[in-house]
Amino acid sequence: MKTIALIGSPRKDGNCDQIVSKLLDNIDGYTKKIYLNDIDLQFCNACQECQKGDCIKDDDGRKIIDELLETDVIIFASPVYYGQMSAQAKTIVDRFYMISQNPEKSFEGKKVVLIFTQANPSDAFDGYIKSLETMPFSFMGMEVIDTIIAKGAAGKGEGIEEALEKIEELEI
């Protein structure tokens, strides 16, 4: 099994990274982490060239999406900043457009685990996070295995205990 984790947090070894690491430790097969903050990831121009083939941007984003097409499981992790996923995470999601517009490529049947951390300890962002299961992930044919939310995760290692426990129970 091939698993790729997209980490949308700019903090290496932060809460998203710690949760993803725990999950990857429990997965057999090839695993890879990609820190979206550390790559050449350009914004979608909405130029529609992907309707004719590949995205015209020759950056790491296009290479990552090509890798995702060859993977079995995608782990998508992001902190919630001001009620939404990080800018890094949103940028790669916007680039998924090139798959939705190209009939020769598909994320259909890919399994995905969504991981979100938030400093706010309440359920304030649950609706937003739940909506992400549908758009873009289920909409693009992916099977959302689980969504793990660490609430009250303000400082490094804080508020992630329940998420780490849930990882132990997760079967992929």
Contacts of 72 (CB under 8 A, 6+ apart): 1, 2, 3, 29, 110, 111
Q: How many helices (H) and strands (E) does the chain have?
A: 6, 6
pLDDT at 51: 86
pLDDT digits (tens, 9 = 90+) for 112-163: 999 999 999 999 999 999 999 999 999 999 999 999 999 999 999 999 999 9
Mean of the pLDDT values across residues 70-77? Answer: 98
Residue 148: count other Cβ atoms within 10 Å of its Cβ.
24
Mean of the pLDDT values across residues 63-78? Answer: 97
* CATH T-level topology, domain 2-169: Rossmann fold (3.40.50)
What pairs with residue 150 in β-bridges?
117
Average model confidence (pLDDT) across the chain: 95
Task: Spell out the alpha helix ranges (H) of the chain.
Answer: 15-25, 60-69, 87-95, 97-100, 126-132, 161-169
pLDDT digits (tens, 9 = 90+) for 56-66: 999 999 999 99
Confidence check: pLDDT of 103 > 90: no
Residues 30/4, Cβ–Cβ less than 8 Å? no
Confidence check: pLDDT of 1 > 90: yes
